[in-house]
């Protein structure tokens, strides 16, 4: 189950990394944000993202003819809720201080238990599966790892501050660049905290990621005991 469940996040982390790499320039902190250099704007944005304690991310990546994606709210305290997709396989994700669970569809179960598909699908039904070792939710709900990916060092060329645009009613400054993944664009809030709100990649793994609900509380409640099953009897 681990390999399938981590594939979606791996693709999204790859997308998130397209703006990776902090500038050696500290930035001047004054004047209009959008009038700064590419390096200063990027550094400010990565600094802002690195302080987050909670985040909602919605992302989709195309790779080898398959769509992987996620729609998750996660916090540094470990709370997480949403869903992940790996082609036709999907799962709802739920994590709180009381434990972790996921609700897989039949396709995901068939990939994980190809020799026991009928029995496992019947056993799970519409129930939540106990994620005993945090194998599924842990890899998909790690806010620290996700944010660290944004600050990984990566060489860029063709960098450009395109200018200020409007995105979902807010002014954002658009940065264009080329790196190992191809051409990309990042959209960063002009006012307030300079969070990255959108990343687009037009490279070998095209996709889009949007970020919102910055530092908003992620509220999760564990499912009732009679709504949870354990797959341990089917695992060798």
pLDDT at 35: 94
Residue with tokens 């709802």: 92
Q: How far apart are CA 168 and CA 145, in angstroms?
A: 27
Domain ranges of the chain: 2-212
pLDDT at 151: 67
Render each residue's pLDDT in the chain as its tens digit; 236 residues: 333 333 444 444 444 444 444 333 443 433 389 999 999 999 999 999 999 999 999 999 888 888 889 999 999 999 999 999 989 999 999 999 889 999 999 999 999 899 999 999 999 999 999 998 888 888 788 898 888 877 665 677 889 999 999 999 999 999 999 887 789 899 999 999 999 999 998 878 889 999 999 999 999 999 999 999 999 888 86
pLDDT at 73: 97
pLDDT at 23: 37
Q: Give Cβ neighbours of residue 133 (< 8 Å, ≥ 6 apart).
A: none
pLDDT at 155: 72
Q: How far apart are CA 20 and CA 219, in angstroms?
A: 30
Q: How far apart are CA 70 and CA 218, in angstroms?
A: 16
Q: Give Cβ neighbours of residue 224 (< 8 Å, ≥ 6 apart).
A: none
Eight-class DSSP state of 50: H
**Domain 2-212 part of CATH 2.50.20:** yes
pLDDT at 88: 92
What is the token pair recorded at 133? 């070792």
* Tally of CB atoms within 10 A around 121: 16
| Predicted model pTM | 0.84
């Amino acid at each position: 189950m681990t390999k399938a469940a981590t594939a979606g996040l791996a693709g999204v982390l790859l997308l998130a990394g397209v703006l990776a790499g902090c500038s050696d320039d500290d930035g001047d902190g004054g004047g209009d944000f959008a009038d700064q250099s590419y390096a200063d704007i990027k550094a400010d944005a990565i600094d802002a993202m690195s302080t987050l304690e909670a985040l909602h991310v919605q992302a989709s990546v195309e790779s080898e003819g398959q769509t992987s994606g996620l729609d998750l709210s996660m916090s540094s305290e470990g709370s997480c809720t949403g869903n992940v997709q790996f082609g036709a396989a999907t799962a709802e994700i739920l994590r709180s201080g009381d434990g972790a669970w996921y609700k897989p569809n039949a396709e995901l179960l068939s990939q994980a238990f190809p020799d026991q598909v009928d029995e496992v699908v019947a056993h799970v039904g519409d129930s939540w599966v106990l994620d005993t070792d945090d194998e599924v939710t842990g890899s998909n709900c790690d806010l620290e790892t996700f944010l660290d990916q944004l600050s990984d060092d990566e060489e860029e060329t063709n960098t450009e501050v395109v200018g200020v645009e409007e995105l979902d009613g807010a002014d954002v400054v658009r940065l264009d660049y080329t790196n190992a993944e191809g051409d990309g664009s990042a959209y960063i809030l002009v006012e307030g905290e300079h969070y990255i709100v959108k990343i687009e990649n037009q490279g070998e793994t095209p996709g889009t990621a949007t970020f919102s609900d910055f530092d908003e509380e992620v509220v999760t409640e564990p499912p009732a005991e009679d709504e949870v099953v354990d797959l341990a009897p089917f695992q060798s």
